[in-house]
């Protein structure tokens, strides 16, 4: 079984092409309701390598890694910009596939960063749990060098509303990501300003 989640409209085009070309078993892709990010669409979809994510940015000396699955990538990038303005370098990666998981990417991010935050539009027990299971299985967590946080939809009933309001309520917007990172980096939590951070 192959499961994909597109970060934006362009990725959705590529994933449709990938699904069309795939003939070795079931394949599914997820794209939520609401408006897209507004990226330029490619003329033709490219067939993606199954089970391979992509690194969007990786500055030298990055302490934090944000690993997004689905359309929360744009919010992860906003959070990364805000953190970098405060002097915290951040790697941002797009998992693309929930299954099969890009084990090489996940292990590399965990081994080379102090904090790894997964961000998904799924429930508890989904992508973030799979990442944690992989890291535990590989013994990456044994040394305690990386702090892993999994951001998911809450395991509670949410009133129906505009998607952006529901994501904010769930802590899956840039503010929620910033809060999770600051909680994992004590010196940032102590030095951060009170109130909501103004994001560009």
Stated as kind and residue range, the H or E segment containing 66 is strand 64-69
Cis bond leading into 100, ω under 30°?
A: yes
Average pLDDT over residues 182-189: 75
Q: In this predicted structure, what is the pLDDT of residue 4? A: 97
Q: Which residues contact 199 (CB under 8 A, 6 or more apart)?
A: 78, 79, 81, 82, 174, 175
Average pLDDT over residues 12-39: 92
Q: Is residue 112 part of a domain?
A: yes
Q: Is residue 1 part of a domain?
A: no
Q: Is residue 187 part of a domain?
A: yes
Average pLDDT over residues 95-116: 97
Please report the sign of the dihedral spanned by the C-alpha atoms of residue 147, residue 150, residue 151, residue 155.
Answer: negative
Q: Render pLDDT for 110-128 as a digit per residue (tens, 0 to 9).
A: 999 999 999 999 889 999 9
Q: In this predicted structure, what is the pLDDT of residue 194? A: 40
Instruction: Place 186 in a pLDDT band, splitting at 50, 70 and 90.
Output: low
Spatial strand order in the sheet of 115-120: 54-57, 90-94, 64-69, 115-120, 147-151
Average pLDDT along the chain = 91
CATH code of the domain covering residue 80: 3.40.50.920
Q: Is residue 199 part of a domain?
A: no
Q: Is residue 8 part of a domain?
A: no
Average pLDDT over residues 128-141: 97
**pLDDT over 90 at 154, yes or no:** no
Q: Is residue 65 part of a domain?
A: yes
Average pLDDT over residues 11-34: 94
* Total domains in the fold of the chain: 1
Query: Structural domain of residue 119, as residue ranges?
Result: 54-191
**pLDDT over 60 at 61, yes or no:** yes
Q: Is residue 14 part of a domain?
A: no
Q: Is residue 71 part of a domain?
A: yes
Regarding predicted confidence, which is higher, 132 or 36? 132
Global pTM?
A: 0.90
């Amino acid at each position: 079984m192959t499961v994909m989640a597109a970060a934006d409209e362009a990725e959705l085009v590529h994933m449709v092409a990938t699904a069309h070309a795939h003939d070795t078993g079931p394949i599914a892709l997820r794209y939520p309701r609401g408006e897209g990010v507004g990226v330029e669409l490619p003329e033709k979809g490219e067939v993606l390598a199954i089970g391979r994510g992509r690194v969007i940015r990786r500055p030298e000396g990055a302490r934090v890694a944000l690993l997004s699955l689905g359309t929360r990538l744009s919010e992860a990038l906003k959070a990364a910009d805000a953190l970098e303005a405060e002097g915290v370098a951040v790697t941002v990666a797009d998992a693309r596939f929930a299954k099969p998981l890009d084990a090489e990417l996940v292990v590399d991010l965990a081994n080379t960063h102090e904090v790894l935050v997964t961000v998904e539009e799924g429930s508890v027990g989904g992508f973030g749990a799979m990442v944690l299971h992989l890291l535990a299985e590989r013994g990456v967590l044994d040394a305690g060098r990386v702090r892993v946080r999994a951001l998911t939809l809450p395991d509670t009933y949410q009133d129906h509303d505009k998607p952006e309001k529901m994501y904010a309520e769930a802590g899956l917007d840039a503010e929620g990501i910033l809060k999770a990172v600051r909680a994992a980096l004590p010196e940032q939590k102590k030095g951060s300003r009170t109130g909501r951070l103004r994001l560009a």
